[in-house]
Amino acid sequence: MLFSNSKPNYGTSVRTKFTKMLDNMVPFTSLNNPRLKKVVNLFQKRYTNGNSMGFGDYIRGSLALIQICQIHRLQFDMNYVNHPVSKFLTNTTNNDELSIQSNSINYNGITMFTDNNFDRNDKTFHKRMVDLLNSVNTSHHYLFCNSFPIVHPNPTQRRIVASKIQPNEVLQEAIQGTMTELGLERGGYRVIHIRTGDRYLLNNARLDANLINKVVSTINKNVAKLSPFKYLILSDNTELKKVLANIYCKNNNTDKFVIQLGKSITHLGEGAVKDDESVKNTLVDFFLLAQSNAIISMSPYLHESSFSKYCGILFGIPNIFNKLDIPI
């Protein structure tokens, strides 16, 4: 277990802080729906209004949604029973209740919340979310949310979300096996996480010298030559990992860098999920990030890579972001 599965109560002081902050921007929008008791962020491959986003986006949205629930004294939960990640993750806080709920959910009727705060207009996001929740006529409301948290998640929020995506025995064995194979110990290594983007992962764009040079330059700039830590290189681009293995592992007589080759990964959203083995390998990468002592991330997106950024936020791992100036 990476985090305790304790269920701390929401503090009124945090609710008051949120309320005052939002009230400074617009009159505070109140929830007036006595029927609604719980809001559940539900992760599956498709929704009534499109394909899902990735796993990091789901974590980000869960942290946003738990803050909404905290403001309005609603119960919060996560459900991914209808997604392949459910074969490797477990919700440790309420498995029995979740099983009962899952049997009665109309998965074909779940909608993505699209009135997001990607422009960081949190006051509008809060109002639109509350307007939606005020319109609900059931005690439990299921949706997919990938919004940004209104404020930086506090330890209670992080602990609750983390407790709901714990690795099961199969995934724990895979994580430990990979760490043993690569000679890694928890807290004793740093991760270089390279997100080259959907142009490569989903559309199979070919590697070019420009991308390789920018990645190598960024690695060399960020890696401390005298660091006592190993650097694990992870990427959504298998071909790039092969190139970097030749540069940093084979041509240098050092064990400072480690890269695992030969294992496929997959985007866990956008309707792109591959086979179960790829899903498991992708989640292994997530929990390797979670057990490092620092993350050096690269991405062509200004919002960074949610996969590594929100893993770092969730598990308290420092993250140094470097924007890659490459085509998206």
User: Can you list the domains of the chain with their CATH numbers?
Assistant: 12-166 (no CATH), 169-323 (3.40.50.11350)
- pLDDT over 80 (residue 103): no
Name the percent of the chain lying above pLDDT 70.
80
Write the DSSP string, 125-180: HHHHHHHHHHT--SSEEEEB--PPPSSPPPHHHHHHHHHTSEE-HHHHHHHHHHHH
Which of 264-278, 296-310, 311-325 is the least confident region? 264-278
- pLDDT over 70 (residue 298): yes
- Identify the band that residue 8 occupies on the pLDDT scale cut at 50, 70 and 90: very low
Give the tens place of pLDDT for each residue, 68-85.
999 999 999 999 999 999
Which of 29-33, 161-165, 261-265 is the least confident region? 261-265
How confident is the model over 258-262, as a mean pLDDT? 82
Q: Which positions ≥6 away from 314 have C-beta within 8 Å?
A: 59, 63, 153, 158, 161, 162, 290
How confident is the model over 228-237, as a mean pLDDT? 90
Name the percent of the chain lying above pLDDT 90.
58
Residue 161 to residues 88, 158, 175, Cα–Cα distance (Å): 16, 5, 20
- Identify the band that residue 297 occupies on the pLDDT scale cut at 50, 70 and 90: very high
pLDDT for the residue 3 = 42
User: How many Å apart are CA 221 and CA 33, to the nearest integer?
Assistant: 53
Which of 131-140, 145-154, 237-246, 271-280 is the least confident region? 271-280
The closest alpha carbon to 197, from 188, 189, 205, belongs to 205
CB 166 within 8 A of CB 86: no
